[in-house]
Every structure is written in structure tokens, then in C-alpha cells.
Copies of this chain bind each other. A is one copy, B any other.
Amino acid sequence: MTEVTRPRMTRQRQAILDALDGGGFRSAQDWHDHLRHDGASIGLATVYRSLQHFAESGDVDTVVTASGETLYRRCEQPEVHHHHLRCRNCGAAVDIDIPDLESVTNRIAAQHGYTDVDHTVELIGVCADCTKVSGAKASG
């Protein structure tokens, strides 16, 4: 178990990390698009793999949309468990902390006899900028 495969820094990975700095949650294919527009020559499969590796090593955050797409973003706090408030329109996101959430969920889980509990929390809304742009648009 002491054999750790250390990552190599290739042009592609560097380009991905660079693109990631643009901020916002985007799908692998979106990032791929972004990279190509940026002039980078990189394959879609490579983007998927790299993004996954980064996610595993904690360098990027991932969320799964309701449609099943996985979105990736540069993680700002690799070590701290946190949640996101994401704009459903532009993908912008801010890290948030929900006080006591951990303890509350742990307690609830314990009450029901559940162990090894993990939780997923996502807040999805419309950011200030997009709210301005779309005006008083009512979605439903």
C-alpha cells in the first residue's frame, strides 16, 4: 500500500488546471470545449480522466446535476468538507458552510440506526448577476 502513483505534469493537465482557474462548475465536455477554444490540443477522454484524477486527489470539487451530468470545479479548500451554492444559470458557485449540519445529520442517522453516513447538500438558485439580467422572470 506504499506504492503511490504520483501524477506527471503534462501539458494537458497543466492546461486543464489553468482552465479550471476560470471558476464555476462545468461539465467535462464544457471544459474540453473551453480548452479547445483556448487553443489547447487535448482529447475529451483525457479531460475526463484528468478531471477524475484531480477529483480523487481532492484538487477539484464535483457535483452531479439532476440530469446526471457531473460538474467539476477547482477546489479551494481541499481539506474542509463544505457545500456549494450554485447558480443554475451560469454555473457560478460559492463555497458555503452550514453550521451544525454535520452534527445534526449524524444525530439523525444514528437515531435511525444508520452508520458510515455521508451527506450531500447542494443549494441551487440564481445568482445576483443572472437575476438582474433575466429581470423578474418567474420560472414556474
**Candidates B108, B113, B118; contact of A96 at CB < 8 Å:** B108
Q: Which residues of B contact A121 (CB under 8 A)?
A: 119-121
Count of residues in A whose CB is under 8 Å from the partner chain: 36
Q: Which residues of B contact A94 (CB under 8 A)?
A: 112
Q: Is A21 located at the chain interface by the 8 A CB criterion?
A: no
Q: Is A42 located at the chain interface by the 8 A CB criterion?
A: no
Whether A123 contacts B117 by the Cβ 8 Å rule is yes
Asked, given contacts A98-B104, A108-B96, whether A125 binds B118 with beta carbons under 8 Å apart, the answer is yes
Q: Is A39 located at the chain interface by the 8 A CB criterion?
A: no
**Candidates B64, B68, B117, B125; contact of A124 at CB < 8 Å:** B117
Task: Give the complex CA separation of A68 and B65 in angstroms.
Answer: 8
Q: Which residues of B contact A116 (CB under 8 A)?
A: 125-126, 131, 139
Nearest residue (CB) in B for A139 is B116
Asked, given contacts A104-B98, A108-B98, whether A123 binds B118 with beta carbons under 8 Å apart, the answer is yes
Q: Is A22 located at the chain interface by the 8 A CB criterion?
A: no
Whether B108 contacts A114 by the Cβ 8 Å rule is no
Task: Give the complex CA separation of A122 and B83 in angstroms.
Answer: 12
**Candidates B68, B87, B104, B128; contact of A68 at CB < 8 Å:** B68
Q: Is A70 located at the chain interface by the 8 A CB criterion?
A: yes
